[in-house]
Amino acid sequence: MTTLPVATITSTLIPANGWSGSAVGSDSELTLQRPRPEAHRSGPQASNRFSRAADEDIAEIYIPDVVDEVTSPESLGLVNSSTTENVSVATRLSVPEPGIMADSESTTPKWLLNCFTLALLLVSTNLLAHRTVEADLWGHIQYGEEWLSTGVLPQTATHTYSSPDHRWINHENLSELALAITHRLAGGHGIMLGKVLAGVAALLLMLRVAVRRGVPAVAAAAMTIPVAYALAEFWLARPQLASFLCAAAMCLLLEKAFADWYADGRVHRRWLVPIIPLMVVWVNAHGGFAAGLCILAAYLGLRFLECFRLWPQLWKSHLVTFAATGIPAALTIFVNPYGADLPLWMANSLGEPRPEISEWASMSEAGITIVPFSILTALTVVSMALTRERRDPVQFFIIGLVTLQAWLHLRHLAFEALLVGFWMPPHFYSAWNRVADWWKSRRPQAEADRPMTRFERLLIGSQATLTCAALAAFLAWKLATFGVDRSEYPVAAIEFIDEHQLSGRVVVSFDWAQYTLAALAPHSTVGFDGRFRTCYPQDVIDMTFDFTMGPDSDHRNRSNTLPDAEPDRVLSFGDPNLVLISRKLDRPATRVMDQQTDWVLLYQDATAQLWGRSSLYSDEDSADFIPPADRRISDEAPTGKAAWPAFAGRSGRMAFAEAISPLTAATVGLDR
């Protein structure tokens, strides 16, 4: 409890800042206490109302849960400057502590709080900048660049020899176009910077929403760290980033549209209108729009059910409003270059499991990713239990559903993190203050915190400033040293292929396929790549994974299109002449190749193996013959990073455009 001296107080006690208080008689104490959670707004008859006891000497007020600063009767709203009628009361005012963090904010200089806030945001930003190159990034830029250069949106699969006539339904067109344009303007470093700036934008949106709901900026910034930690694994320069940004925008729009829902049942329709064009963009940027539509449908549907409990007189009006938003949003799935084929393909594709892709695995198989999931989920559950803020059942229910989806498929952890980042900070903060108040009440009075001295403020401020500088420098170093890790990608093997002018049809490791097709374009094509079911039939998928993962792998969803599992079938299908595989990731494939008599090892290091068909590369009469002395076979581990994009003979902002030649239309099928 904190006591504040007052001399006089007006006879009219007005509502202020969310506390409840009572004054009895003219010489007694006036005490303020937090309202119980159930005293908060719960309907049109609740909250912020002044009530006076029958004897006119007892007054009670209800005000918000958090006060910024308690320094005087005026700041508490206990003095009405417009009246001169005063009543004498006790000269001491007792106020419960609002919490350790709130106390710190009231006594800490603003400049120091800003330093803390910036440092915390920089920690979150560095987490989002942690991962750089993603296996499919090369392909995304290449497809977007070809659309820019030719003006043609391919309708069938490109850069592949196994399925050149297969329909390609690309649900990532806008994202790939944006990546290609960014690469033309700013290169690979520009794409990485854009990824980081997108993360900063999302964090600042969360911060703004939290501050507007009464959370101190430094506390809101601290809460972005577990959110960023959960997002870090997925925050990559790829089309999924468009889904995350669209989800963040939707959260912001819903927050604004329903800002007064519990006060008077109003819905600010102007903030629901932008959801329609947002969904049009989302549908054409990434398949995550399906998750967005599910979240929107659940939100509007549950709000409508809630309306019957809180605002039954408004249900017709809200039905019209929600239908005017939800129905057009659902119809946006047809606003794409493929019309009804896109949602039909999505429905069929999502119905098929894809255990071969690690992001579709369950959280129980997620490895280290279960750590941020556990932290975020635990914080959310504890905050739901301990919060003094009004609990929003709609938000809590949706977070619960998405958390369940994240457990089933770890890639949904990003959506859980976004929802938690926008909806949970007030509850995090309230729960923290509740625990802090309990802890503080157990401490002896002698251990009470004392104000910082000027020297201590300067010392802590200088440390905070140095921390900010170090975090900013690390972020800049991360961006400046962006490149392609030679130990993770077959950069040396691609250089060998270029040196010996090899080309043709390449069976390639799944994680390297889009790098390979972009690096060797337009003269080589691949059998299968990360576009997966968007442009490959199931039999090609099956035979490729039979080769690279083995037919008996636990992480397979093998269909019955191919009756027998023959791991070497892919070596004859489509008549490939080169095989590029990972020695670490494709061990079943390396064992298959060791047993082949009509293939010869041309290049090997600790990362990759490159095999060539013997009839081409071991026959001295062949124009493609490579003498044994020119082959490079070793177990040496490649080190260092290659300059982006790690293409032999091509570099810079136009590296992808240089692969577009007059031969491109015939080679990759852009003329189809």
Structural domain contains residue 502 = yes
Domain tally for the chain?
1
pLDDT surpassing 90 at residue 104: no
Q: CB of 517 within 8 A of CB of 589?
A: no
Range 428-440 average pLDDT: 92
Rounded Cα distance between 551 and 655, Å, is: 38
Confidence of residue 672 (pLDDT cuts 50, 70, 90): very low
Structural domain contains residue 466 = no
Confidence of residue 175 (pLDDT cuts 50, 70, 90): very high
pLDDT surpassing 60 at residue 24: no
CA angle 403, 405, 408 (to 5 degrees): 115
Confidence of residue 480 (pLDDT cuts 50, 70, 90): very high
Copy the structure tokens of residue 456. Answer: 């201590």
Q: What is the pLDDT of residues 225-273, one digit of tens each?
A: 999 999 999 999 999 999 999 999 999 999 999 999 999 999 999 999 9
Structural domain contains residue 45 = no
Confidence of residue 42 (pLDDT cuts 50, 70, 90): very low
Q: CB of 59 within 8 A of CB of 13?
A: yes
User: Which pLDDT score is estimated for 503?
Assistant: 96
Confidence of residue 72 (pLDDT cuts 50, 70, 90): very low
pLDDT surpassing 60 at residue 37: no
Structural domain contains residue 649 = yes
Range 208-231 average pLDDT: 96
Which run of H or of E encompasses 642? strand 641-642
User: Which pLDDT score is estimated for 447?
Assistant: 53
Q: Which of 398-430 are b and which e, b meaning 16 or more Cβ less than 10 Å from the residue's Cβ? A: bbebbbebbbebbbbbbbbbbbbbbbbbbbbbb
Copy the structure tokens of residue 455. Answer: 């020297």
Range 437-452 average pLDDT: 71
User: Which pLDDT score is estimated for 101?
Assistant: 54
User: Which pLDDT score is estimated for 659?
Assistant: 85
% of the chain residues with pLDDT over 90: 71
> Tokens 């949970």 identify what position?
424
User: Which pLDDT score is estimated for 105?
Assistant: 55
Selected residue with higher pLDDT from 106 and 400: 400
Q: CB of 612 within 8 A of CB of 583?
A: no
pLDDT surpassing 70 at residue 177: yes
Burial class of residue 355 in the structure, from the number of CB atoms within 10 Å of its CB (0-12 exposed, 13-18 middle, 19+ buried): middle
User: Which pLDDT score is estimated for 125?
Assistant: 97
User: Which pLDDT score is estimated for 51?
Assistant: 34
User: Which pLDDT score is estimated for 566?
Assistant: 87
Lowest mean pLDDT among 39-43, 346-350, 418-422, 657-661: 39-43
Lowest mean pLDDT among 138-152, 545-559, 623-637: 545-559
Range 424-439 average pLDDT: 94
Rounded Cα distance between 289 and 281, Å, is: 9
Lowest mean pLDDT among 87-91, 159-163, 186-190, 439-443: 87-91
Owning domain of residue 501: 491-668
Selected residue with higher pLDDT from 650 and 62: 650
Structural domain contains residue 530 = yes
pLDDT surpassing 80 at residue 574: yes
Average pLDDT, the chain: 84
Lowest mean pLDDT among 10-14, 382-386, 487-491: 10-14
User: Which pLDDT score is estimated for 293?
Assistant: 97
> Tokens 């396929």 identify what position?
513
Structural domain contains residue 366 = no
Selected residue with higher pLDDT from 254 and 447: 254
Residues in the chain: 672
Rounded Cα distance between 315 and 304, Å, is: 7
pLDDT surpassing 60 at residue 66: no
Structural domain contains residue 578 = yes
User: Which pLDDT score is estimated for 597?
Assistant: 94
Which run of H or of E encompasses 253? helix 240-257
Structural domain contains residue 310 = no
Which run of H or of E encompasses 226? helix 217-231
> Tokens 């961006």 identify what position?
479
> Tokens 């007059």 identify what position?
662
The DSSP secondary-structure symbol of 213 reads T
Confidence of residue 106 (pLDDT cuts 50, 70, 90): low
Copy the structure tokens of residue 454. Answer: 């000027």
The three-state secondary structure class of 603 is strand
Selected residue with higher pLDDT from 366 and 619: 619
User: Which pLDDT score is estimated for 457?
Assistant: 87
Q: What is the pLDDT of residues 317-370, one digit of tens each?
A: 999 999 999 999 999 999 999 999 999 999 988 878 888 888 888 998 888 999
User: Which pLDDT score is estimated for 449?
Assistant: 61
